[in-house]
Each structure stands twice: as structure tokens, then as C-alpha cells.
């Protein structure tokens, strides 16, 4: 079952979406509930990267009316940014004070190494204790595109439940399979997707597209497959969705899936399509296990330059280039061995623009 509610009253629409959903089949009033938003960077939600605090507020109000009394918000921003700053800049400190809800910074949390084996999947993943041990996790991602994985939504949002060292390692392993494995190990109680104005080009925002919708469902793979199509991708275009299907996490959205739409008269008049800016620049880039923050900075820079950088040969980026070198331009500290290098972890897009501008 998937519920979609349209309109601009975010708090009410989030509450109504949950009320119309089947969350009551899984949630119990005496459970401790953790709300996991996407606060990947410390920028306000209208930039298209982070979960609106109004969505979290609607969830809190629903939970309190349901009888839940033990509620917390947990998150870890991406490598190179501060979760505490994100909580402040994104409006969550005010929300915490208003409802007396604790804000947990998973960057400071202890973690446990958890193993899984399934056919050719053999992973041991470090997972933050707050995420691993919570009794009921409500996954609250932003529906947006991603410069490497194309889509980031429910399944990839759980990457905020692992320590920074593990986030880096995920990219060295190839991001898709570890994300699928993580969703096998961390159990999502319910998904509430912020589809208000997600960025349809980059994970860190800056190009928001207004869609004014809240989407909810029990299964993260089912919800992600539905959301993928909303921004112009088929589920199998997103590798970690197909891997998640192999692992038995769930099934794709189909005609057999019950779909409930509220406020259908307030649907956007046009269907937004997924941004494919990153695809246009792939011929310029030699990438090997690049982290999202670093790669996103490069894509931003190329986008700003119109895809016409001044460079002799390829642009090199990623952990796979540590200890290597040669002619060409390296992006990030991992490529210090190249003839030219824009340093940083991640580097600033403005510094990359300076290095590539005519």
C-alpha cells in the first residue's frame, strides 16, 4: 500500500497521509520510535536537499495522537558536514524545543559490526547503535536525484545510519550493493517521503523542483520503485533497487499495489522528470570509488561551466586513485598524485570551477 497526499499544508498533509496509511498494522503505542530525516547538508529544505521540519512535525503529531510517548530524531550528515549544524540550520532545534524531542547525532554514536550472507552478498557493516536498536524506525527521506546513483530516497537514506568511515567504504565497495545490504540489516518500520521540492539533479540541493506531495508506505523498496518512476527512472535503472529485490527486501510497485491519493485535485499540472545532468558529463570523468560529496562538487562545477571545462585529458576522481598519478586534473585529496589537483575532502565546487574555467 502507498498513500500520496498533494498540497502545500505540509504538517496537515503528513498527518493525513499517515492516518490514511496502514501504519497502524505495525506501530504500537508503547514502542520507542526514531525518526530518521535526510539532513545530508546544513541547508534549508527549500533548497531541495533536506527533509522539511514540517514533515517531521506532522509525524510527531500523529505519533502523539496514536499514543506514542518515546520519540527521538536521529541523523548523521554526510562526510565533511556537521549534523549539529544541520539540525540548527534546517529547523530541527526549534522542533526539538517545541515538542521536547531529543536530537541524536549519529556521528557521536557507538556502532556495531553486523554481518550478512546471501548468495554472493557477504558483508560486515558498521551500523550506529541508535539505528540498529530502535524499536520502530520511521525513514523520512527527500525524493531527489543523485549524481551517482540517479535516485536517492528511502533505501539510500539509511546511509545516514552508519559512521563516516563506513560511508567512505561503501563507495570503495561500489555504493549499490552495500546500500541494499544495509537495508537488509536495518529494519524500517515505515517510510514517509518528503516529495515537496526535491532537487532533481544533485543530492546536495540547489535545483529544487516543486511537487507538493507526501508519499508513505511500509516497504522501502516498494516506495523507492514508485518514487523512481515519478522522476523519470524505471526501477531497474537504479542498481541498488534491483539488488534489494534480489535480497528479498520487497517488490517493485505494480498495478497490483494499492494506491491511495488524497487531495488529488491539487496535483501538479505537469510531471517533473529526473535530472540527468551527471550523465552528460560522464565522458569527461574517470571515476573510481568516488564519494558522493566529492563527485557532487565536480558535477556542480561542470554544470556551472556548461560542460565545457578547460582540461588536458580526463578529470580523475575517487578513492581508487590514491597513490596514483599522471597527467590530467585530479579532484579531491585522493588524487594528490596527479599533475594538477583540486584538494579538499570534499573540495569546493568553486575551487573546481577556478581550475577548469576558460
Digit-coded pLDDT (tens) for 164-201: 999 999 999 899 999 999 999 999 999 999 999 988 67
The CA distances from residue 125 to 92, 113, 197, 348, in Å, are: 28, 5, 32, 29
Confidence (pLDDT) at 53 = 98
Note the pLDDT of residue 114.
Answer: 96
pLDDT at 283: 83
| Residue 270, pLDDT score | 47
- Give pLDDT, residue 113: 96
What pLDDT does residue 149 have? 85
Other C-beta atoms closer than 10 Å to the C-beta of 310 total 10
The superfamily (CATH) of domain 2-266 is LarA, N-terminal domain (3.40.50.11440)
pLDDT, residue 266, reads: 67
CA 75 to chain centre: 11
Extract the C-alpha cell encoding 31: 514502542
Give every residue of the chain whose pLDDT is below 50, as ranges.
Answer: 270-275
Transcribe 74-132 into DSSP letters.
EE-PPTTS-HHHHHHHTTHHHHHHHHT--EEEGGGS-EEEEEEEETTEEEEEEEEHHHH
Spans of all domains in the chain: 2-266, 277-356
For residues 245 and 238, what is the distance between their CA atoms, to the nearest angstrom?
A: 11
Amino acid at each position: 500500500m502507498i498513500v500520496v497526499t498533494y498540497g502545500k499544508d505540509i504538517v496537515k498533509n503528513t498527518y493525513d497521509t499517515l492516518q490514511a496509511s496502514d501504519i497502524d498494522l505495525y506501530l504500537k503505542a508503547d514502542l520507542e520510535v526514531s525518526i530518521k530525516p535526510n539532513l545530508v547538508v546544513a541547508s534549508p529544505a527549500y533548497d531541495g536537499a533536506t527533509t522539511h521540519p514540517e514533515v517531521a512535525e506532522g509525524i510527531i503529531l500523529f505519533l502523539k495522537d496514536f499514543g506514542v510517548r518515546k520519540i527521538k530524531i536521529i541523523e548523521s550528515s554526510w562526510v565533511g558536514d556537521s549534523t549539529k549544524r544541520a539540525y540548527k540550520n534546517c529547523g530541527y532545534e526549534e522542533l526539538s524545543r517545541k515538542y521536547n524531542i531529543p536530537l541524536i547525532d549519529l556521528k557521536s554514536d557507538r556502532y556495531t559490526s553486523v554481518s550478512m550472507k546471501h548468495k554472493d552478498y557477504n558483508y560486515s557493516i558498521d551500523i550506529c547503535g541508535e539505528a540498529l536498536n530502535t524499536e520502530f524506525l520511521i525513514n523520512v527521506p527527500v525524493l531527489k536525484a543523485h549524481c551517482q546513483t540517479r535516485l536517492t530516497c528511502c533505501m539510500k537514506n539509511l546511509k545516514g545510519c552508519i559512521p563516516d568511515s563506513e560511508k567512505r567504504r561503501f563507495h570503495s565497495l561500489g555504493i549499490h550493493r552495500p546500500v541494499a545490504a544495509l537495508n537488509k540489516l536495518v529494519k524500517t518500520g515505515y517510510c514517509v517521503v518528503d516529495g515537496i521540492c526535491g532537487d532533481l539533479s544533485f543530492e546536495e540541493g540547489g535545483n529544487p523542483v516543486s511537487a507538493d506531495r507526501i508519499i508513505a508506505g511500509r516497504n522501502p523498496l516498494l516506495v523507492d520503485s514508485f518514487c523512481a518512476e515519478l522522476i523519470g527512472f524505471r526501477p531497474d535503472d537504479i542498481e541498488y533497487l534491483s539488488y534489494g529485490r534480489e535480497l528479498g527486501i520487497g517488490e517493485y510497485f505494480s498495478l497490483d499495489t494499492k494506491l491511495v491519493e488524497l487531495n488529488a485535485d491539487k496535483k501538479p499540472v505537469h510531471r517533473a522528470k529526473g535530472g540527468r545532468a551527471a550523465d552528460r558529463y560522464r565522458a569527461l570523468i574517470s571515476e573510481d570509488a568516488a564519494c558522493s560529496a566529492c563527485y557532487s562538487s565536480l558535477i556542480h562545477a561542470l554544470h556551472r561551466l556548461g560542460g565545457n571545462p578547460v582540461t588536458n585529458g580526463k578529470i580523475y576522481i575517487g578513492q581508487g586513485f590514491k597513490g596514483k598519478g599522471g597527467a590530467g586534473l585530479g579532484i579531491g585529496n585522493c588524487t594528490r598524485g596527479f599533475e594538477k589537483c583540486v584538494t579538499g575532502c570534499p573540495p569546493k565546487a568553486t575551487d573546481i570551477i577556478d581550475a577548469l574555467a576558460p
